[in-house]
């Protein structure tokens, strides 16, 4: 089977940090009607640059997921429905988008989402090769093959895993979803698929409350409102250790939503900034200890300050020796290895 155009080889001197400035959503200011920071991904990269952690040349640019790629997961009916602005407005949760010509919706919203989807797929490949990868975007965990929602128009997590099975030697995978919301999209896609182990820790009182999708979760940790760092970390440590004792994956897909942050308008949890950084550190640490490749997706996070937290977390992972230790080009290494 030939390799997808979403897969390509990166330079030895690049880190598997996947990003394209076209990830960011902007059309006529309508993005301001949503609580989501539509420039979040650019802001993460900017903070990393300001800290002299990376340069633009360090980043890996993905290819856009095209229709033939998306059809690996999505139905033709669903993809056709995205040609109606009213349908996209429901998915994006911005009602005014229904009044925008679809050609503009495609360019300003759906194309960035297709680029992020391509980024997730590429990051999956790079994680296998380097031991880790981060897509500074993606994590559209509410979208399944035939239905979008919750700002998630494409099922990038499902596509990432299916491509690894199709084009690489991956036989099984684990999804660890620590976004504040239940990841009902990929759960519906992997219902009855024992090769995909799902651990989901989420606030049970908020969207989507999808009981049918919950049947796909092998390790379900339902939290209440206002959960704080101590309870959160104790439950994470206990359950992720138990999950990895039950199941040995070829790759771990980490959906690292930051909407668990204290005062996030949709997550209703009380995790501190340092709590999120320590959470990410633990997930990477346990994957390294078990020699499991990990791909991280940034997923949800609705406060402006989450971009800095994600950037700080990535820098902390490097400081702790959990990323950035793959073979380097001898003199042309352009990512900062002194942090």
| Interacting residues of 74 by C-beta distance below 8 A, sequence separation 6+ | 145, 146, 154, 155
Rg (CA), the chain: 18
What is the number of alpha carbons within 13 Å of residue 68 lying toward its C-beta? 4
| Interacting residues of 292 by C-beta distance below 8 A, sequence separation 6+ | 174, 244, 248, 249, 250, 251, 252
**Cα–Cα distance between 252 and 294 in angstroms, integer?**
5
Cβ–Cβ contacts within 10 Å for residue 182, how many? 27
User: Can you list the alpha helix ranges (DSSP code H) found in 93-205?
Assistant: 102-105, 111-130, 156-167, 184-189
Using an 8 Å Cβ cutoff, are 256 and 231 in contact?
A: no
Q: Check the CA dihedral 69-75-80-82 and report its sign.
A: negative
Tokens linked to 308: 């800095």
| Candidates 34, 74, 107, 142; catalytic one | 142
Is-catalytic flag, 268?
A: no
- Burial code (b: 16+ CB inside 10 Å, e: under 16) for 302-323 equals bbeebbebbbbbbbbbbeeebb
Q: Check the CA dihedral 158-162-165-171 and report its sign.
A: positive
Using an 8 Å Cβ cutoff, are 202 and 278 in contact?
A: no
Q: What is the DSSP annotation of 183-212?
A: -HHHHHHTTT-TTEEEEEEEETTSTT--HH
Tokens linked to 110: 């759906």
Using alpha carbons only, what angle is made at residue 264 by residues 261 and 265, rounded to the nearest 5 degrees? 160
Q: Which residues are catalytic?
A: 142
């Amino acid at each position: 089977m030939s390799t997808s155009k979403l897969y390509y080889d990166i330079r030895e001197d690049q880190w598997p940090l996947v990003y394209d400035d076209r990830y960011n959503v902007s059309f006529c200011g309508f993005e301001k009607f949503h609580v989501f920071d539509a420039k979040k991904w650019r802001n993460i990269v900017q903070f990393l640059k300001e800290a002299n952690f990376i340069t633009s040349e360090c980043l890996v640019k993905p290819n856009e997921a095209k229709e033939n790629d998306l059809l690996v997961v999505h139905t033709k009916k669903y993809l056709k429905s995205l040609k109606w602005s009213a349908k996209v407005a429901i998915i994006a949760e911005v009602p005014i988008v229904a009044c925008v010509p679809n050609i503009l919706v495609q360019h300003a919203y759906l194309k960035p989402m297709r680029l992020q989807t391509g980024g997730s797929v590429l990051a999956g490949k790079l994680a296998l090769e380097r031991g880790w990868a981060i897509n500074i975007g993606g994590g559209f965990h509410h979208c399944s093959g035939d239905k979008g929602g919750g700002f998630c128009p494409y099922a990038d997590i499902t596509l990432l895993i299916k491509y690894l099975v199709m084009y690489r030697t991956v036989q099984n995978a684990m999804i660890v979803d620590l976004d504040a919301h239940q990841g009902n999209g990929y759960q519906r896609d992997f219902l009855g698929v024992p090769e995909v182990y799902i651990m989901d820790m989420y606030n049970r009182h908020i969207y989507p409350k999808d009981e049918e999708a919950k049947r796909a979760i092998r390790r379900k940790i339902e939290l209440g409102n206002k959960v704080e760092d101590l309870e959160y970390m104790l439950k994470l440590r206990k359950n992720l250790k138990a999950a990895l004792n039950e199941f040995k994956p070829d790759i771990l897909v980490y959906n690292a939503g930051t909407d668990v942050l204290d005062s996030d308008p949709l997550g209703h949890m009380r995790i501190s900034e340092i709590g999120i950084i320590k959470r990410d550190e633990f997930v990477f640490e346990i994957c390294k200890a078990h020699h499991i490749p990990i791909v991280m997706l940034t997923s949800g996070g609705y406060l402006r300050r989450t971009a800095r937290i994600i950037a700080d977390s990535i820098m902390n992972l490097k400081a702790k020796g959990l990323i950035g230790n793959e073979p380097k080009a001898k003199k042309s290494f352009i990512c900062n290895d002194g942090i």
